[in-house]
Amino acid sequence: MQLFLKKIILSAIFNTSLFLILIIGIQNSSNKSKVNLFINETISLPISFIIGTSFISGSVTGTIVSLIYGKKN
């Protein structure tokens, strides 16, 4: 249980720090784009924000999957 909690805390700190660095880094970004979803389009967002949030969400998903399958074994 202690290892499980340690992995969750480490992942949360890592992903939060990546998100903060992402927010600080895109302050002067001028290249904006829209994401086409099935129903609507999103607002114009900086491309670096879209790529960065995709990376962070993949990191969170990978951590969750790793914890779920690691717990079963």
CA geometry: angle 53, 34, 30, nearest 5 deg? 80
Q: Which residues contact 47 (CB under 8 A, 6 or more apart)?
A: 29, 31, 32, 33
Token pair of 40, please? 């609507």
Per-residue pLDDT for 73 more than 80?
no
* Predicted TM-score of the model (pTM): 0.74
pLDDT for 4: 79
Domain boundaries, the chain: 2-72
Across 27-31, 63-67, 69-73, least confident range? 69-73
In DSSP terms, 46 is beta-bridged to 32
- Over range 5-27, report the average pLDDT: 89
Tokens of 56: 């962070």
pLDDT(42) > 60: yes
